[in-house]
Chain A
Amino acid sequence: MRHNTYSRGLPGLALATVVMLCAALTLAFFYAPLDANQGFLQKIFYIHVPLAIIALCGFVFGAVMAIMYLRTGDRKWDMRSYVAIHMALIFGIAGLISGSIWAKASWGHWWVWQEPTLVSYLIVLLLFATYQPLRFSIEDPERQSLYASVFAIVAGAFVPLNFIAVRLATEYVHPRVLNLEGGNLPGPMKLTFYVALIGFALLYVTLWKFEMSAKHARAQVRRLRRTLLGDDAGRPYGRSAAPL
C-alpha cells in the first residue's frame, strides 16, 4: 500500500493555523485601532478580504494543477485541481456572505450591482460553481478529467484578467486599501491584516491537505477491495463528480 503523503505534517499545520487565526482575531479586536469612518464595522475587513484573496488564489492554484494534469496525464494532479477549486469555492462563498453583510451595514444594501468589484467577483464564483456540475455530467473518468482540466485552466486565466479589468475601472465605491506601494492602511491595521491573511492561507492549505488525505485513503480502500474481492466490489455506488 502506498503511504498517504498528504497527511504528513497535517497536525503541525493545523496547530499553526489555529495559532495564526487566534492571533489574527486577538489583533483585530484588541490591537488594531477603530477606523475613522466605519468604526467597529471595519473589523469585517480582517476576514472578508483575506477570504476573497485566498479564494481567488485557490482558483488559480486549481488551474495550475490542471495544467500539470494535462502535461503529465497523472490522475493525482486532477484530484489536486478538483480539491483546490472545491476549497476555493467554500472560501469564496464565505467571503461573499461576509462582504454582503458588510455592504448592508455600510452602504445600506446587501448587494450593489453598479460596483464592478462585487459583480466581477460574483461572475468568477458562478463560473467556478459550474465546475462540479460539469464533472458530474461526464460519466467517463478520463473525459471528465480532461474536460474539467481545460475548464479549470480557462476559468483560472479569467481570474487575473478580471482583476486587472476591475482595477482599470474608474467608477467604484469599493475601497482600495492595498496596492503595490503598500496601500494606505495604518501600521497596526496592516499587521493585523497580514496575520489574518497568513492565517486564512494556512487554513486553506490545511483543509486542502485534509481533504486530499481523506480522498487518498478512500481510493486506497476501494483499490484494496477491488484487489481482494474482484473488480465489481471496488466500483463506486453511482456517478461521481470527484476524480475516482
Chain B
Amino acid sequence: MSLLFAITPALPLGEAGKYVAAAYIVVFVVILVYVGIMAMRAQRTQRELEELRRDVEAVKAARAELDHDPDDGSDQTGAGRSERSEQIA
C-alpha cells in the first residue's frame, strides 16, 4: 500500500476533497444499508427454517409414538393421529 502511494501523485484534498469524500461515502452507506437490511431478512428466513425443522421433527416424533402404541385400536389410530397433528400445528 505504501508503494502504491509512493508511485502516485499526492491527491489535492482541499475544498473539493470534502465533496468527493461525501459523494463516495453516501454511495457506500446506501449500499451498506441495503445489504444490512437484506442480511437481517436472511436471518429471519433462517429462524423460520429452524422453526420449520423443529415442527417437522415434532410431527415425526408424534407419528412414531402413535405407530408404536400397542393399546390403540385400528379405529382410534386415525382419529388420534389427526388430533395429535392438530395439537402440534
Contacts and interface: CB of A to CB of B under 8 A. Distances in A.
Q: Size range of the interface on B?
A: 20 to 34
Given A30-B4, A214-B45, A228-B52, A90 B22 contact: no
Interface in A64-117: 90, 93-94, 97-98, 101-102, 104-105
B45 A40 contact: no
Given A228-B56, A229-B89, A221 B45 contact: yes
B8 A228 contact: no
Nearest to B15: A105
Contact of A40 (B17, B42, B89): B17
B64 interface: no
B20 A230 contact: no
A104 B31 CA distance: 22
Interface string B31-58: 1001100100110010011001001100
B79 interface: no
Contacts of A148: none
A40 B23 contact: no
B89 A233 contact: yes
B70 interface: no
Q: Is the interface of A mostly helix, strand, loop or mixed?
A: helix
B87 to A, nearest CB: 12
B55 to A, nearest CB: 6
B21 to A, nearest CB: 10
B8 A44 contact: no
Contacts of A224: 52
Given A40-B13, A214-B41, A228 B59 contact: yes
Nearest to B22: A101
B53 to A, nearest CB: 10
Contact of A94 (B20, B22, B31, B52): B31
Contact of A221 (B12, B31, B35, B48): B48
A183 interface: no
Contacts of A26: 4
Contacts of B16: 38-41, 105
Contacts of A38: 16
B26 interface: yes
Given A41-B16, A41-B19, A102-B19, A210 B38 contact: yes
Interface of B: 4, 8, 11-17, 19-20, 22-24, 26-27, 30-31, 34-35, 38, 41-42, 45, 48-49, 52, 55-56, 59, 88-89
Interface of A: 26, 29-30, 34, 38-41, 43-44, 47-48, 51, 90, 93-94, 97-98, 101-102, 104-105, 203, 207, 210-211, 214, 217-218, 221, 224-225, 228-230, 233
Given A47-B24, A51-B27, A207-B38, 11 more contacts: A34-B12, A40-B12, A40-B13, A97-B23, A97-B30, A105-B16, A207-B35, A218-B41, A221-B49, A229-B88, A230-B89
